[in-house]
Structure formats: C-alpha cells, structure tokens
C-alpha cells in the first residue's frame, strides 16, 4: 500500500452514497466530471452519514484511467482521478496508474 500523509481531515454529511477513495464535493456528493472537490472519502458511506474527508496531503485515490506521475488530475464522472482535461484541478499525481482501478496518491 502506498503511504499517505494527511494534513487536514474533516467530515461532510453525505447527500448520496459515497465510495471510499473517490473525490467528494462540499455538498456531500461523490464528485462528477471535472467539478470542484472538497477532498477524498476515507470510507464507504450511505446517504445521511458523515463522510470522513481527507482534504489536504498525499491522499490515496482510485484512478479512472492511465495517469502519469506529476500530471494534474480532476475527477471523472465516478469521482476517480483522471488527467486534467478541462475540468477543475483536484491535485497532482504522485504515482503512475497504467489503467483504471489502480490506487494513486494525489498531492492536494
């Protein structure tokens, strides 16, 4: 497992079901394609539960596609990290992903 360094951890009330290691929004939803993110969910949660959100640090995120090290990333439609493609940057990749489903660290 890749090591994480978390410098800011908070919580947000979930307005939708949330998957661990996916980007989340300030409104408590799993992030959509290219939207601004509050951080990364640290657990799977149901609607109405508190989402533990890793907001700053070197944070593990599910990759949604191949990602190069040091690439700026954004959320895809499922809250996973993909290479920035016109959305709002969510951080910078610290690791390489060769395909969707791998975990990478994002510096944010």
pLDDT at 2: 87
Residues 52 and 74 in one domain: no
- Do 52 and 75 reside in the same domain of the chain? no
Select from 26, 61, 57, 15 the least CA-distant residue to 40. Answer: 61
- What is the domain extent for residue 31? 5-57
Assess whether 52 and 80 both reside in one domain: no
**What pLDDT score does 1 carry?**
73
Residue 40 shares a structural domain with residue 67 = no
The list of the chain residues with pLDDT below 70 reads none
Residues 50 and 71 in one domain: no
Please tell me whether residues 12 and 53 are part of one structural domain: yes
**Whether residue 93 sits in one domain with residue 78:** yes
């Amino acid at each position: 497992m890749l090591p994480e360094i978390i410098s800011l951890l908070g919580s947000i009330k979930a307005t939708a079901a949330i998957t661990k290691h996916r980007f989340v929004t300030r409104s408590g939803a799993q992030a959509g394609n290219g939207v601004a993110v509050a951080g990364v969910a640290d657990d799977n949660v149901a609607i109405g539960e508190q989402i533990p959100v890793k907001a700053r640090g070197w944070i593990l995120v599910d990759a949604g596609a191949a990602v190069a090290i040091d690439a700026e990333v954004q959320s895809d439609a499922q809250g996973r990290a993909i290479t920035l493609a016109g959305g709002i940057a969510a951080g910078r990749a610290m690791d390489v992903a060769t395909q969707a489903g791998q975990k990478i660290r994002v510096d944010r």
